[in-house]
Amino acid sequence: MSNNKRNPDSILNVLGKTVYIDDVPETSGMLHAGIVVSPSAHGRFAGLDFSKALERYPDIQFFTAKDIPGQNELSTSEPDEPLFADGIWHYQGEILALILGPSRSVARKAAALVSIIGREDMPAILDPRAAYEKGMFIPSPRTIVSGDTEAAFKNCDLVISGRADSLGQEHVYLETQGAIAMPGDDGGVRLLSGTQSPSGVQAIVARVLGVPMHRVEVEARRLGGAFGGKEDQASGWAALAALGAVKTGRPVKLYLNRRDDMIATGKRHPYSSDYKIGLKKDGTILAFEAVYYQNSGASADLSPAVIPRTLFHAAGTYEIPNIKVSGYMCRTNFVPFTAFRGFGGPQGFFVIESALDKAAAALGMDRAELQKKNLIKEGHKTHYGMSFKDVRAALCFDACIKQSDYKKLRAEINAFNLSHKAQKRGAALIPVCFGISFTKIMLNQGGALVHVYNDGSVSVATGAIEMGQGVGRKIAKISAMALGSSLDAIRIDCTRTSTVANTVATAASTGTDINGMAAQMACTEINKRLKSLAAEKLATVPEKIIMENGSVFVMDGEAKKETGLSFARLVGMAYESRTDLSAHAFYATPGLYYDIKTERGNPFLYHVYGAALVTATVDTIRGTYRFDQAFMTHDLAKSIDETIDLGQVEGAFAQGLGWACLEELKFDQNGRLLANTLSTYKVPDANFMPDMHIEFLRKPNPLAVANSKAVGEPPLIYGLAGYFAVMDALKAARPGEEGFYDLPMTPEKAMLFLSGELPGDVAR
């Protein structure tokens, strides 16, 4: 599909005209929300004292757990996440009270004056391994077994064990969490919500208010970024605004500042993992075991869905005949960790790549040689019983090797390191194989509602949320192709629960796959009706009618003949003849199944492949480093819009490189977030990024809409190559020393390693 015109949203963004939640004009009588949050990781309290706040701001109103008319519960899995803490809190940033005032400033200042009665801080569990020892799990562990690891290890020439730790990651979406609630005259509410899941917000708000879902209408036009942070966690903020609106009978706006957002919202899950890997002398992997201690935070949130994604990707991109992997969701006194781009997959990839890094050093093999030797091939089976089909791992790996001229590059790095003491260079490759579909099978469904108006213009509504990833643009192009209209005729409507019901979150890289397919199906139905009418008017058969880019043609043998009939005129004729110009379609991803009891099934529609090589230079005096070049070969299939997809690969890689080598989610020993502003939490900028060289593998994928492949999450894993590139350079500075596997790589850790104070393979 050609990218003949720019995305209209891009122009609005550049001009500053795009309307987000905080840009919506405020209605008369609107109240603004402030929040009172828990001050520590764990504690109990007898109540709250609002007297000072009321004395200073007598027109404020406040609400706590006792004011909830329905259920004080946000969770979609375990009933363990209250909207308001009631007598006890389990993490810093848990909501204690909602304050409403005439302005945002008044509400926030009043919230700061609320004091806690009978506060008693309690011991906090912060380490997932400590939670494991105490049996603090959410709900029960998962284990996947394939083959016989115990027997396989006995036949290995080399068996290596170790530990790998990875910290969490802040989403840093540009638009913080927010919602606007307008009360209805039926006891319901209408919400503008910054959410990836309008139907999810609808269900939670209905539960909190104690009303049926049809009394809650949720609308989301666009988000200023999300990355998973607004999948489940937008629901609580919308529920607070809705509660305020219903209780006061006035519109309520809640919009968090950056500090409150960072303190009170979930992040990527930190993991602490143990691994054991067994290989032959030639580098063939025979067995792999791993135990993943997931730091789930104080409540379940999406942890029960994140941990299976880690287990599914435990083998990375490698064929390993004997595997045993277990995941424990460990309950700690941190904010509930949540969805983040990659959804547990990157954490799993880090562990297997750490094991291979250590094994390559022990075998005296080049890391890339060991990786290539064990890449998955056509017909291989996953450890959960799914057969790999249309495997592109070696294609991408070899293309990346060729693109980077790896043999020459490695020789140059070795020569540089021999002649430089104050600087050392390193390089590392990461192959990727990432499954596409929600791991919870039920979620793989979506609907679309298409209206063609009698002037030829088109409105397409789906469950997809535009959050900067270009899903609206892609669905518009898919719809135009399926209808035969021009792209200019298509308008992607805002996502609204009263238009397309029971939608799933725009997540798991499935936004276009699911919603684009539903839109294509609805448009194809209308196209059939229009072709039948055109055939009748042109005295031919529908099979000979071709509709392209707003024009109608008739096939004459192998040639297309112009009819002089436009799409708009044909639509007008259809309206005059009382032809239905609307269609609803529903798509459920086919072929998916999984048996959680046997841990066997087919949880993914297809896999996305790729490979990335990153080079780095380390200053051995200061411990600082820079990334020089990145070579990526990405399995794009047939792109719907290559400009969008290129931006997604670049952005995902930047986010992955930030997680691996820069962003340090720092808490103190009492569980309080220290990196709670953008002055203390570093994110990648242009100077941090290397020169990027990106090639696409353009082999069509018949399993997805328009022969495309998902692109949102897989490229984030490329960022891990940056970690191992720096590690490669560090080991060149200290030959013979084992590496350490404690992500993110930071200059402090690098300096400790260079000075001999951070032993290899020991997480700090």
Can you read off the two tokens belonging to residue 308?
């299976």
Catalytic residue (choose from 663, 713, 748, 757) = 713
Cα dist from 538 to 99, 543, 561, 577, whole Å: 66, 12, 12, 15
Peptide bond into 58 cis (omega under 30): no
Look at residue 505 and give its three-state secondary structure.
Answer: coil
Which residue, chain included where needed, has tokens 């629901």? 235
Nearest 5°: phi and psi at 631? -115, 125
Amino acid at 490: I
Alpha helices in 405-469 (DSSP H): 406-419
Quote the tokens at residue 448.
């679309």
- Residue 564 parent element (H or E): strand 559-566
Q: Which residues of 375-402 are buried (b: 16+ CB within 10 A; e: fewer)?
A: bbeeebebbbbbebeebbbbbbbebbbe
The set of residues, in sequence order, having a beta carbon less than 8 Å from that of 293 and lying 6+ positions away, is 128, 129, 131, 132, 271, 272, 273, 328, 330
How many helices (DSSP H) and strands (DSSP E) are in the chain? 19, 32
Closest CA to 534 of 546, 522, 523, 524: 546
495, 511, 518, 762 from 584: Cα distances, Å? 15, 18, 8, 56
Q: Are the beta carbons of 666 and 679 closer than 8 angstroms? A: no
For tokens 């044909």, the residue is 570
* Residue 284: HSE in the Cβ half-sphere, 13 Å Cα cutoff: 9
679 contacts: CB under 8 Å, gap ≥ 6: none
Extract the tokens encoding 294: 């997931």
β-pairing, 216-220 vs 189-193, is parallel
Please state, in angstroms and rounded to a whole number, the distance separating the CA atoms of residues 759 and 763. Answer: 9
Q: Angle, to 10 degrees, between the axis of helix 747-754 and the axis of helix 720-733?
A: 20
Length of the chain in terms of residues written = 764
Residue 713 known to be catalytic: yes
CA distance 179 to 192: 6
Q: Hey, which residues does 602 pair with through a beta bridge?
A: 593
- Residues serving a catalytic function are 713
